[in-house]
Amino acid sequence: MTSRLDPQPLEWLDRSETLSFEFEGLAFTGFAGDSISSALLASNQTLLGRSFKYHRPRGAVTLANHDVNALFQSSEEPNIRGDVTPLAAGMSLTACNVNGSLEKDKDQIIGKLSRFLPVGFYYKSFHKPKKLFPMWERVIREKAGLGTIDTRWDARRKAKTYGFCDLLVVGAGASGMQAALTAAEQGLDVVLADENPHIGGSLDYQLANDDSAAPIRTALKQKVQSHANIRVLPGHLACGWYTDHYVPLLGPEGIVKMRARAVISATGVMEQPAVFRNNDLPGVMMASGAQRLVARYAVKPGQRAVVLTANSEGYRAALDMLAAGVEVAAVVDMGKADSRGRWADELKSKNVSVLEGHAVYEAKGKDKLKQVVVAPFDGSACNLKLAREIDADLLLMSVGWAPAAQLLYQAGSRLAYDSTLEQILPQELPSGIFACGRLNGAFTLDQRLADGERAGTEAAAFLKDQPLPAEQTDCRDTEAHSHPWPIVDHPKGKNFVDYDEDLQLKDLVNAAKEGFDNIELMKRFSTVGMGPSQGKHANMNGIRVLAAVTGRTIDQTGSTTARPMFHPVPVQALAGRRFRAERLTAMHQWHLDNGAQMMEAGAWLRPEFYGRQEERAQAILREVQAVRTGLGLIDVSTLGKIEVMGPDAGKLLDGAYTMRMSNIKQDMTRYALMVDESGVIVDDGIAARVAEDRFYVSATTSHADATFRTLSRHIVEWGLDVRLVNRTGTLAAMNLAGPHARKLLAPLTDIDLSEENFPYLGFKEGNLCGVPVRLIRVGFVGELGYEIHLPIESAQLVWNTLMNKGAEYGIRPFGVEAQRVLRLEKGHIIVGQDTDGLTNPFEANMPWAVPLKSKPWFTGKPSLALLKERCQRTLRGFMLPKGYSGELPKECHLLIDSGDIAGRITSIAYSPSLGRYIGLAMVDQPLAGSDRMYQVRVDSGALVPLEPCAIPFYDAEGERQTIDLTEVA
């Protein structure tokens, strides 16, 4: 037997397509357009899941993405929301968070123990004895959690798109559609988004059988869909409101990052449950949930219904049930029927009994509703003497609404409780934010349309910077649609306020009594509203309970913060496509072709060394020796390269770097050391004088972008006339180093390389191999060397030529590792390796780079002036003892002096030139100032002696910088 009804006029189903699927090992079918839950309900599978804590049977409640007790597990995904996830052919689903099967969940026992698990129970137990807590924690963790993930699942990513509009209207119900239309008529570019796959909102389920609404619905839908100024986005969830009207919309294809100039929230209201014993049994539903089930999915929610109501909506729902062939045993009205309008009369005319001034005291049944116990209700308690039982398998709750005001709250709106409507309503909205519809207290269709028009008009006036119409229409209803206390106590409890978290009325009352009587504290202690629905059906009653316990008003009680996301959003949609910038130099392919082992240097890839991984050490050694005795060529394109131009160029560099740059002679360079305001070294490079008003500055690979930013900032801060061009990506650079460097270059260039014309630290522009280049005489690796900077287009040609012509001098390409050894032999530091987040130039042994006396000011000077006298540590050179063959120290091993930490090794390497291990260490005072041997503690814990020695280790006099070998070695 099936509960599927004949086709409904507005149903979402495509009955031509039958879909087969499995649930808990059984075969089911549904139609295209079904949700998982609707297909199961159509097949009379009313038990859809188990509750989080007590594993109580649960069914469908809202069909509106709030049914977090109807979560499903597939082999692909956890926590699938059955109430809104479209059914797909071949799905194989099980229930979520059950021990055994859904039918026979062994953890139902926890429900029986609930009296032993008072609110916050886990804070009050399991911690004694301490050693047993890990065992208890494991048990608690196993029981908590919902779905199961499979750690073998591969990565999925969904691309994102950007969207822009004048006005974003969220919610395509009556008021949202009208608002969009009104604004579009004023010429605005409007986006109308709705989380449901079809527009229409409650017009399509709550007013499905309302004849007067039909023509309005048809006209509205037709108009918004055909309007040139409106883009309709059904199936798009507004995830949250972010600064400047930035509202990401989660659609079936991924997230549309929508930037609007203004936002109208027409997000409606969320129906709230009544609280009575067993209000969670399958068969107990929100009235609107049953209406959705009928209108959207053509599923008959039950055979015999009781409708609990406190508003006219309940009567309409009862009529809808009758129309769907459901017998309505009784309408239980918590108030009076005469305030429910024509629907009450209509219902009475159909001989449905209406129990006024009554409430539901208890629902009965095991895994499914069987009877409803009703009793007279005086607004706070039931009179049990007059209680009676009514047989029913369906109980609809229509007792009130909470605003879907999350976007409004996130935007910074103020809302307040309205005692006429017994609902929280917007009071003050920030600039560019508007609200309309039931969210705003407009309940009748006329009110909603008028309110939509008002909001659309106001939004248009705001966006066009026009005054608002003088006549402000108030479209709010004047009768309550919510009951102020839809809550009935029961000595045996199981009257749930929060379905997500299995919280009963007494849990909240007790939390408040224990001092958690602030709404946020109550949330955190009891976990009310912390489940996957984020309190959509629990917060309002939670506030009512707390207000009652503390004797405060709803407004005094306040509400918890409505944080994004509105519904949980898949990580794959948030992450978007994977994009990782990877920067390659012009010679990248050459490096690969020539056996380079590449390493990451920030976003760049650089050759670490050339050769096979297993002969790493020998390869590096060969490269070092080539540079020392013949020639080496290294790709240094990753260096930052910044062109500094303008009348104030020298002034900028003087302020940004420690040493004076404005007096560098034409065609010369100077070491450029940058410190921050506190005197800490942040970057180094060289600055070359290209012309009177023009410099060319290099920066380290890792700090290049930051240096460019810093210089840019200084120009603004200091009001200088300077322009910067970051040429890091457009220029390649290579360093030709070795005693034969000049001999190789001379015949290939028109630049006069003679010592007189082009000395050490000189700079020249000219041609090399027929292409324009800049040459800089550098000494980083300690040999006669020329850094060649040139456009990336010509870099490979020059590189190839140098490699070919250099063969006779034994040229080798060398990588980062060889360079590290070479510079270490020279005692040159690497910023970030030999320095740390607090190292100043005095500690780095570079007092010569800090002209405190001769320069009136530079960034960091005031700090350095203070620090000069209190140098706590100094960078020192050391060697391992000759012939040492024990365990090798590593970088960042600690120096130990009399049992205390006295520094650390910052660099260490085998020096082929010296035949010994050498290194740099940041040594604390007083050890640094003494002649004592250092001791370093290695991995094994042993102390290894280090001999302090002077830096540089190699060519202290710098003679190698000018050497010209006359013969081929």
Partner 1 sequence: MPWRLLKYGLKSSHNEPRFFPEAKPLKSHYDVVIIGGGGHGMACAYYLAKEHGITNVAVLEQGYIGGGNTGRNTTIVRSNYLTPEGVKFYDTSLNLFEDLADDFDLNIFYSTRGHFTLAHTDSAMRTMRWRAEVNKHHGIESEVVDRDFIAKEVPYMDLDCAGTHPVMGALYHAPGAVARHDAVAWGYARGAYNRGVEIHQKTRVTSIRTQGDKVTGVETDRGFISCNKVVSMVAGSTPRITSMLGLETPIEIFPLQACVSEPVKPFMDTIVVSGSLHVYVSQSSRGEMVMGASVDPSVLHSTRSSFNFVEGLTDQMIDLFPFMSRMKVMRQWAGMSDITPDFAPIMGKTPIDGFYLDAGWGTWGFKATPVSGKTMAWTLANDRNHELIEPFRLSRFTDFELVGEKGAASVGH
Q: Which residues in the 816-875 window bind partner 1 by CB under 8 A?
A: 832-833, 836-838, 863, 866-867, 870
Q: Angle, to 10 degrees, between the axis of helix 519-526 and the axis of helix 539-550?
A: 120
Residue pair 686/636 in contact by the 8 Å Cβ criterion: no
- Interface residue with partner 1 among 90, 116, 366, 551 (CB under 8 A) is 116
- Going by C-alpha positions, the residue among 334, 479, 322 that lies closest to residue 398 is 334
How far apart are the C-alpha atoms of 395 and 270, rounded to whole Å? 18
- Going by C-alpha positions, the residue among 920, 881, 921 that lies closest to residue 902 is 921
**Measured CA distances, 309 to 104, 318, 353 (Å):** 34, 10, 13
**Measured CA distances, 395 to 162, 300, 308, 477, 889 (Å):** 45, 13, 7, 27, 76
Helix/strand/coil for 742: helix
The answer to whether residue 228 forms part of the interface with partner 1 (CB under 8 A) is: no
Sign of CA dihedral 661, 663, 669, 670: negative
| Shorter beta-carbon distance to partner 1: residue 705 or 955 | 705
Restricting to residues 658-687, name those near partner 1 by CB under 8 A: 678-679
| Shorter beta-carbon distance to partner 1: residue 157 or 368 | 157
Shortest Cβ distance from residue 435 to partner 1 (Å)? 20
Task: Output the furthest CA–CA distance in the chain (Å, rounded).
Answer: 118
Contact string (CB under 8 A) for partner 1, positions 916-955, x = contact: ---------------------x------------------
The string of DSSP letters for 185-225 reads: HTT--EEEEESSSSS-GGGGTTSTT-TTHHHHHHHHHHHHH
| Shorter beta-carbon distance to partner 1: residue 177 or 619 | 619
Residue pair 435/455 in contact by the 8 Å Cβ criterion: yes
DSSP β-bridge partners for residue 496: 504
The answer to whether residue 592 forms part of the interface with partner 1 (CB under 8 A) is: no
How far apart are the C-alpha atoms of 538 and 501, rounded to whole Å? 9
The answer to whether residue 366 forms part of the interface with partner 1 (CB under 8 A) is: no
The answer to whether residue 112 forms part of the interface with partner 1 (CB under 8 A) is: no
The answer to whether residue 303 forms part of the interface with partner 1 (CB under 8 A) is: no
How far apart are the C-alpha atoms of 106 and 810, rounded to whole Å? 78
CB count in 10 Å sphere of residue 908: 22
**Edge-to-edge strand order for the sheet containing 731-737?**
763-768, 771-778, 785-791, 731-737, 631-635, 811-813
Contact string (CB under 8 A) for partner 1, positions 156-175, x = contact: xx--x---------------
- The DSSP H or E segment spanning 556 is helix 554-557
Shortest Cβ distance from residue 645 to partner 1 (Å)? 28
In this chain, which stretch among 169-177, 446-454, 577-585, 784-792 interacts with partner 1, using CB under 8 A? 577-585
- Going by C-alpha positions, the residue among 321, 369, 279, 283 that lies closest to residue 331 is 321
How far apart are the C-alpha atoms of 569 and 576, rounded to whole Å? 12
Shortest Cβ distance from residue 561 to partner 1 (Å)? 8
Strands 161-170 and 254-265: parallel
Contacts of 380 (CB under 8 A, 6+ apart): 485
- Interface residue with partner 1 among 10, 32, 574, 592 (CB under 8 A) is 574
Q: Which long-range contacts (CB under 8 A, 24 or more apart) does 770-779 make?
A: 771/797, 771/798, 773/749, 773/798, 774/688, 774/696, 775/745, 775/749, 775/751, 776/669, 776/686, 776/688, 777/669, 777/961, 778/669, 778/686, 778/735, 779/826, 779/958, 779/961
The answer to whether residue 716 forms part of the interface with partner 1 (CB under 8 A) is: no
| Shorter beta-carbon distance to partner 1: residue 184 or 508 | 508
Shortest Cβ distance from residue 217 to partner 1 (Å)? 33
Residue pair 153/76 in contact by the 8 Å Cβ criterion: yes
Q: Where are the alpha helices (DSSP H) in 371-422?
A: 406-410
In this chain, which stretch among 372-380, 441-449, 505-513, 639-647 interacts with partner 1, using CB under 8 A? 505-513
**Measured CA distances, 125 to 112, 496, 510, 567, 725 (Å):** 19, 24, 17, 33, 65
Restricting to residues 77-106, name those near partner 1 by CB under 8 A: 77-79, 97
| Shorter beta-carbon distance to partner 1: residue 235 or 357 | 235
| Shorter beta-carbon distance to partner 1: residue 153 or 848 | 153
The answer to whether residue 898 forms part of the interface with partner 1 (CB under 8 A) is: no
The answer to whether residue 588 forms part of the interface with partner 1 (CB under 8 A) is: no
Contact string (CB under 8 A) for partner 1, positions 49-78, x = contact: ---------------------------xxx
| Shorter beta-carbon distance to partner 1: residue 904 or 960 | 904
The answer to whether residue 564 forms part of the interface with partner 1 (CB under 8 A) is: yes
- Interface residue with partner 1 among 808, 890, 932, 956 (CB under 8 A) is 890
Shortest Cβ distance from residue 248 to partner 1 (Å)? 6
Shortest Cβ distance from residue 723 to partner 1 (Å)? 25
Contacts with partner 1: how many residues (CB under 8 A)?
101
Shortest Cβ distance from residue 278 to partner 1 (Å)? 20
How far apart are the C-alpha atoms of 851 and 858, rounded to whole Å? 10
In this chain, which stretch among 147-155, 275-283, 400-408, 958-966 interacts with partner 1, using CB under 8 A? 147-155
Give me the count of residues in the chain.
Answer: 969
Contact string (CB under 8 A) for partner 1, positions 509-548, x = contact: -x--xxxxxx-xx--xx------x-x--------------
- Interface residue with partner 1 among 136, 164, 718, 848 (CB under 8 A) is 136
Residue pair 172/198 in contact by the 8 Å Cβ criterion: no
| Shorter beta-carbon distance to partner 1: residue 296 or 861 | 861
The answer to whether residue 257 forms part of the interface with partner 1 (CB under 8 A) is: yes
Residue pair 168/411 in contact by the 8 Å Cβ criterion: no
| Shorter beta-carbon distance to partner 1: residue 257 or 855 | 257
The answer to whether residue 126 forms part of the interface with partner 1 (CB under 8 A) is: yes
How far apart are the C-alpha atoms of 569 and 240, rounded to whole Å? 10
Shortest Cβ distance from residue 427 to partner 1 (Å)? 20
Shortest Cβ distance from residue 740 to partner 1 (Å)? 31
| Shorter beta-carbon distance to partner 1: residue 150 or 959 | 150
| Shorter beta-carbon distance to partner 1: residue 325 or 837 | 837
Shortest Cβ distance from residue 160 to partner 1 (Å)? 8
| Shorter beta-carbon distance to partner 1: residue 104 or 152 | 152
The answer to whether residue 476 forms part of the interface with partner 1 (CB under 8 A) is: no
